Amino acid sequence: MKMWLTSTNHKQIGLMYISTTFFFFILAGILSLLIRLQLAQPDQNILTPHEYNQIFTLHGTAMIFLVIAPFAFGLGNFLVPLQIGAHDMAFPRLNLLGVFLFIFSGIIIFLGVFAEGGGAFAGWTAYAPLSTMIVGTGAGQDLWLLGILVNSVATIMVAINFVVTILLYRAPGMTMWRMPIFTWEILATALLILMAFPSLACVVCELLLERHYGAQFFNPAHGGDPILYQHLFWFFGHPEVYVMILPYFGVVTEVLAVFSRKPVFGYVGLVLSAFAIAGLSMGVWAHHMFTTGAVANGFFSGMSFLIAVPTGVKFWNWIGTMWKGKLEFTTPMLFAVGFLFNFLIGGITGVMVASPPIDYHAEDSYFLVAHFHYTLGGGALFAVFAAIYYWGPKMFGFKLNETMGKANFWLMFIGFNITFIPQFFAGIEGMPRRVFTYAPTGDLGWLNAVSSIGAGIMAISAVGFVLNVIVSKLAQEPVGDDPWGAGQTLEWATSSPPPEFNFHALPPIRSERPVFDMRHPELAEERH
């Protein structure tokens, strides 16, 4: 126990992130099931409006701030030092401080539920002036804001740590252009965090000042401006979307390359596209505000379209990585290909809503809900599972059961699409998001019923995953350094799980896949 509280080892901290996100994932998943239960039929009263509003606020907050983004930090914490041949992160104690602040932020946010008047219910976007009204949003909203503040500070800490580690702690011979793609994507993510999260920390502080100390930043009655809140929030909020997806692009790239038995196709293109996405995503924030009528729609629409180009490059190179390979459909590979399928729908609908004339109808409707669930649920979450199945043996020393893993994938894939495809049509029919009930007009009734059935299938899949972890833990088959037999990057050159300081000896690093070079010296070639 003492070890878990004081050890600054990066692998332990990574596992702390991952286990905490798993806990919050279960909580947020249960919340989403409650949402689908309430919406399964029109005019239901399973939850009161007040309960429903708290539930969707917590579901969004938890999935974004406590599951998808921090899982990537945990994965990065575990993997980045291994992939670049370092012994630990650059600032181990800052790292430990960051993980504890992250855990506390989650606890603070969820404790808000027990406050008088209930937890926060202003949505994860907490738009002012709704979130600054003391009436109706009492201590729960304050705790939510405090939690987000602590979370943003923790995130900035972890980003600084990643940047310094990747730049200064690379093993001899590991030039930047020989780093694995996952490490590159973490670097781009860290860059984005450093640009975007200070804005979140500021805007949360402003809300707290307004709620407690009489500031009037966003109150039009005293010269404030609610649009300013939206600018500040989305200046963080849109890059945050890419903070939640860039690391998972890295995961998918690695998994596809390893199980196609090929090097990553278009390495330079993948790296440059990651930075292009990071840069462009800083200039698109107000596409969340097209319908306000108070922003430069043309500018933001054009910038948003441009992001499709580097994302297209990624798809192109992923297909190139699979091309002429020998694809082995293990569970991580299935999840990675599932990611490609789902994320493509998220991407093309993303281009649609980036066009203001379409967004005038789609904004804040279930079309938009389905769109971002395809990027973050069908995209990031599938990559989370791919990562757990792929690096699980390295982290825990045992492989997860493949048969159960495949069942896990197929149920998740089918359930996910059954849940969210109907929501596109519900949105087009005119169902706004964040409603606790809806009138039984048109096709909304059966669309929502189908969607709820899909959510049930996903729940079964998630339970199957938990069972898989338990069963595999009990079976506990020991694994060697490279359980997949095809590892390419440095983490597969050490034991599973790795020793305290990661490596007893490093292989020479002459390309972006030193472990492959070690296995096939006849094919090794020096690069970059």
Partner 1 sequence: MKSFVGFFGSTAVFAVSICIIYWFSSHDRGGALLLGFMCVALSFAAGYAFFTEKNAALEGDDRDLKHREAAGEDITIVTKESPWPLTLAISIVWFLVGLLWSDFMLFTGLAAMLLCLWRLGAESARVGGETIMTKEGPENFT
Partner 2 sequence: MPILNPASVQGMDLRGDWYIFFGAAMFVAVFVYALILYSVFKWRKRRDDDGSLPPQFHKNPPIEITGVVIPIIMVIGLFYVTYLREGVVDFLKPSPYATVDVAAYRWAWQFRYPGHNITVNGTPRNPPVLVMPLGKMTQINLYSSDVVHAFWVPAFLFKRDATPGYTMHFDITPTRTGLFRGECAEYCGLDHALMVFTVKVVPVADYDRWLASGGTTTT
Shortest distance in whole angstroms from residue 503 CB to partner 1: 9
Shortest distance in whole angstroms from residue 521 CB to partner 2: 13
Comparing CB distances to partner 2, the nearer of 14 and 350 is 350
Query: At CA 234, angle to CA 230 and CA 238, rounded to 5?
Result: 160
3-state secondary structure 89-133: CCCHHHHHHHHHHHHHHHHHHHHHHHCCCCECCCCCCCCCCHHHC
Q: Does 365 bind partner 2 (CB under 8 A)?
A: yes
Q: Does 337 bind partner 2 (CB under 8 A)?
A: yes
Give me the torsion for CA of 181, 183, 184, 185, rounded to 10°: 90
Shortest distance in whole angstroms from residue 293 CB to partner 2: 5
Q: Does 399 bind partner 2 (CB under 8 A)?
A: no
Q: What is the H or E stretch that residue 369 is in? A: helix 366-375
Q: What is the H or E stretch that residue 250 is in? A: helix 246-259
Return the one option of partner 2, partner 1, none that residue 149 interacts with (CB less than 5 to 8 A, by type): partner 1
Among 8, 44, 292, 495, indicate the residue that binds partner 2 (CB under 8 A).
292
Return the one option of partner 1, partner 2, none that residue 235 interacts with (CB less than 5 to 8 A, by type): partner 1
Return the one option of partner 1, partner 2, none that residue 439 interacts with (CB less than 5 to 8 A, by type): partner 2
Among 26, 358, 404, 414, indicate the residue that binds partner 2 (CB under 8 A).
358
Separation of alpha carbons 141 and 270, rounded Å: 41
Shortest distance in whole angstroms from residue 496 CB to partner 2: 23
Separation of alpha carbons 471 and 20, rounded Å: 21
User: Is it true that the peptide bond before 129 is cis, omega within 30 degrees of 0?
Assistant: yes
For partner 2, the binding residues in 223-262 under the rule CB under 8 A are 224-227, 260-262
For partner 2, the binding residues in 297-326 under the rule CB under 8 A are 297-298, 301-302, 305-306, 308-309, 312-313, 315-317, 319-320, 322-326
CB 474 within 8 A of CB 53: no
3-state secondary structure 432-496: ECCCCCCCCCCCHHHHHHHHHHHHHHHHHHHHHHHHHHHHHHHHCCECCCCCCCCCCCHHHHCCC
Return the one option of partner 2, partner 1, none that residue 506 interacts with (CB less than 5 to 8 A, by type): partner 1
Comparing CB distances to partner 1, the nearer of 97 and 130 is 97
Which residues have C-beta within 8 Å of that of residue 206, sequence separation ≥ 6? 215, 217, 218, 229, 232
Q: Does 41 bind partner 2 (CB under 8 A)?
A: no
Shortest distance in whole angstroms from residue 501 CB to partner 1: 5
Q: Does 265 bind partner 2 (CB under 8 A)?
A: yes
Among 26, 41, 44, 123, indicate the residue that binds partner 2 (CB under 8 A).
123
Centre a 10 Å sphere on the Cβ of residue 11 and count the other Cβ atoms it contains: 21
Contacts with partner 1 by CB under 8 A lie at 3, 5-9, 84-88, 92-94, 96-97, 100-101, 104, 108, 142, 146, 149-150, 167-177, 191, 194-195, 199, 208, 212, 228, 231-232, 235, 275, 278-279, 282-283, 285-286, 295-296, 298-299, 303, 500-501, 504-509, 528
Return the one option of partner 2, partner 1, none that residue 136 interacts with (CB less than 5 to 8 A, by type): partner 2
Q: Does 7 bind partner 2 (CB under 8 A)?
A: no
Residue type, 74: G
Among 7, 216, 355, 495, indicate the residue that binds partner 2 (CB under 8 A).
355
Centre a 10 Å sphere on the Cβ of residue 474 and count the other Cβ atoms it contains: 8
Give me the torsion for CA of 209, 215, 221, 227, rounded to 10°: -60
Among 7, 216, 291, 495, indicate the residue that binds partner 2 (CB under 8 A).
291
Comparing CB distances to partner 2, the nearer of 1 and 221 is 221
Residue 493, CA distances (Å) to 79, 393, 395 in order: 12, 13, 14
